[in-house]
Structure 1
């Protein structure tokens, strides 16, 4: 049996990998939905855009569901506390996500222009709203979330819904929107031709620069305007999952300390800054495949930067820093993590295999010929 501290670290890494997988796969189809009314100028163009993600979006959703399930099983205190504090925001996200399958299915039921336009805006909301909220949520984690525990370790959120909309969280939301729309624009470069391809290329070039600028601004803000968290008491990496048994303090430049202790972590912010520039340059010279690689690396770097900066903190507590939830005191039992680890070793490769197979089978561009009925590719 693997050691308890190693299993906790493994599950922290696995949850991060699942979130990155969700951002890369489900990110481009959420982004395509958010771009539907911007890049698509008529019904044919919008149908082409929808059909670029039509074969993949429901499979991509597996990453989101699996990440949520992994957090629930591996870090139940995080799941319970986050859903308590972010309840309204998460419900808004779910309501928005429900509009995507409804929009895909119902917009084609009638030929009426007003009907289809209404569903196009519903699909836009189904993409834009979750992208923004996910970014705002990560921003709040870096700032700290106000909550407390009673004697039974039951969490109570002390803030408000509008309290989540603080300036840094809004910046994090803008980073999320910029990087996901960039990713979606590169996807459209790969999967379309003619006018849609041209518009997507132009937009990806702009968003690549915007993502780098916004991410750099967030880094400066964290370095000089946001205090981090640090253990004051000794860290018990194999102790019981009780967040009330430690002492934590808010320290100046606390979110930068890991980069001094583990210099290799600097690769994450470097990827987050450099890869979007690569997207801009590669898009301009027509190398869409490599632009998609750079876009995926930029998402990976930005998400890893947040994780590396906060480690071992998962949900810092701005009300009482010592109640912050960390990798070492918010996990499930040793046995639970062990059983889940071996299950993951079986099923994660299966998910990766059928995902790769699905993308391989449905490779190629979507054109007007496909949606005209002369091809069996289009489904919407």
Structure 2
């Protein structure tokens, strides 16, 4: 095989990260637009403009989420099993919230009753607001540690509950996630709309970006001085296959900053997150919509990369028994499986990215009231 097992483990960590960033950059602004829909659209025509800004592409964007889930199942089967056991209720809430999106887009325009359309607008809000909130809360709990462990027969046992996820740090992480994607959605609306609606989007982007910067800095300080991180003390050869309990893990204050001390260049990543958000505010004020959108995308990538570098190589730390924590070294599929899937990704990911680029080129341009009126039967 072209890569040894250890290298493939790192490559697949990066692949999953790329898929999550792709999901956040594309379907993320869909979530942001859905969250803003009832607040920025003051009339039915304005709300139709907002909906049609993402209408042609939201389904394609959502496939990034499906692909990321599939990659996790294939590359990190133990993580997939533990996550769907421990976060079952949270993930079901995400699923049911996502149900509002396809039916909301398809059914909203079927009846011209304001109450009917308003109800579906709030349904689209739920579909846009709830998933990023729960994703953020779940990730915050990963940094805190998840209450699970493996028994002597290697069966995973989860002892937590849904309400245990709603702790102060988890909720702060949820605020970071929601603010990040609302900023990204508002920046996208600046690109796709004009006039008064674009002006409201600029204000929304500014407010969300400021909230993101404050919440992100608070979360970073909390992680640095208020949360015990995880550190691998001993483990078998990373180029071999071994079970999670074969390693020794300790919880140490400040351990989530280990990788930043080991690779100082990674300090650029949180600076990208903060700088991207601040540039989004600046470019929004200057009415440079595309630049604001690119800046918000930089902030989104910076936040996710910051979190990823902080946790590496941990994927799901255990607060009950640290030695049971799942990492990139021990929660992975076999060497052969990772190698085969590597070539699948190398071939198909560029094709998907090229196709996505072509789609956005086809539907480029602003959505206007005139466009909605001239395409009454083909628009949402």
Q: Return 5+ residue gaps in structure 1 as ranges.
A: none
For 1:259 and 1:123, the matched residues in 2 are separated by 39
* RMSD, aligned CA: 1.1
**Counterpart of 2:198 in 1: which secondary structure?**
helix
Q: Within 5 Å, which residues of 2 pair with 1:196-215?
A: 196-215=197-216
Q: Which residue of 2 aligns with 1:323?
A: 324
Deviation readout 1:22-41 (Å, 9 max, x if unpaired):
00000001111111101011
Answer whether contact 2:236 2:242 (CA < 8 A) is retained.
no
Q: Which residue of 1 aligns with 2:18?
A: 17
Q: Deviations over 1:268-307 (max 9, x none)?
A: 1111111100000110001111111110010101001111
Q: TM-score, normalised by structure 2?
A: 0.98
Contact preservation (8 Å) 1:186, 1:295:
yes
Count of aligned pairs between the two proteins: 379
CA distance 1:206–1:244, shift in 2 (3 Å): same
2: CA distance, partners of 1:148 / 1:329: 14
Q: Which runs of 5+ in 2 are unaligned?
A: none
Correspondence for 1:69: 70
Map 1:168-179; keep pairs closer than 5 Å: 168-179=169-180
Following the alignment from structure 2 to structure 1, what is the Cα–Cα distance between the partners of residues 327 and 39?
A: 41
In the TM superposition, what is the alpha-carbon distance from 1:236 to its structure 2 partner? 2.3
Tell me the equivalent position of 1:254.
Answer: 255
Question: For 1:167 and 1:209, how far apart are their aligned partners in 2?
Answer: 20
Distance in 2 between residues matched to 1:332 and 1:196, nearest whole Å: 49
Q: Distance in 1 between matches of 2:79 and 2:171?
A: 22
Give the corresponding residue for 2:345: 344
Relative to structure 1, the CA distance from residue 121 to residue 375 in structure 2 (aligned partners, 3 Å threshold; closer, same or farther) is: closer
CA distance in 1, matches of 2:242, 2:29: 37
Q: Per-residue CA shift, 1:58-95, capped at 9, x if unaligned?
A: 00011100000000000000000000000000000000
Contact 1:236 1:328 in 2 (8 A): no
> Equivalent residue for 1:83?
84
Whole-angstrom distance in 2 between the partners of 1:374 and 1:334? 53
Q: In 2, are the aligned partners of 1:47 and 1:371 still within 8 Å (CA)?
A: yes
State the Cα distance separating 1:347 from its structure 2 match: 0.7
Return the alpha-carbon distance in structure 1 between the equivalents of residues 309 and 236 of structure 2: 17
Instruction: Say whether the 8 Å CA contact 2:235–2:246 is kept in structure 1.
Output: no
Please give the TM-score of this superposition, normalised by the length of structure 1.
0.98
| Aligned equivalent of 2:289 | 288
Tell me the residue number matched to 2:34.
33
**1-side partners of 2:191 and 2:376: how far apart?**
19
Aligned to 2:278: 277
**In structure 2, C-alpha distance between the alignment counterparts of 1:374 and 1:313, rounded to whole Å:** 50
1:36, 1:124 within 8 Å by CA — same for their partners in 2? yes
Shift of 1:265: 1.2
Deviates more, 1:194-203 or 1:150-159: 150-159
Shift of 1:8: 0.5
Q: Distance between the aligned counterparts of 1:313 and 1:78, measured in 2?
A: 10
User: Which runs of at least 4 in structure 1 moved beyond 3 Å after TM superposition?
Assistant: none
State the Cα distance separating 1:267 from its structure 2 match. Answer: 1.4
> 1:158 maps to which residue?
159
CA contact (8 A) 1:314 1:327 kept: yes
Displacement of 1:235:
5.2
Asked whether the 8 Å contact 1:93–1:130 carries over to 2, the reply is: yes
Q: Which residue of 1 aligns with 2:379?
A: 379
Q: Is the CA contact (8 Å cut-off) linking 2:284 and 2:292 kept in structure 1? A: yes
> What's the secondary structure of 2:318's corresponding residue?
coil
Give the stretch that moved more between structures: 55-64 or 239-248: 239-248
Counterparts of 2:311 and 2:38, CA distance in 1: 37
Distance 1:47 1:155 in 2: 48
Paired with 1:353 and 1:154, the residues of 2 have a C-alpha distance of 42
CA distance in 2, matches of 1:131, 1:235: 37
Cα drift, residue 150 of structure 1? 2.7
- Counterpart contact for 2:314–2:326, Cα < 8 Å: yes
Give secondary structure in 1 for the equivalent of 2:157.
strand
SS in 1 for 2:109: coil
On the 8 A contact 1:140/1:164 being kept in 2, the answer is yes
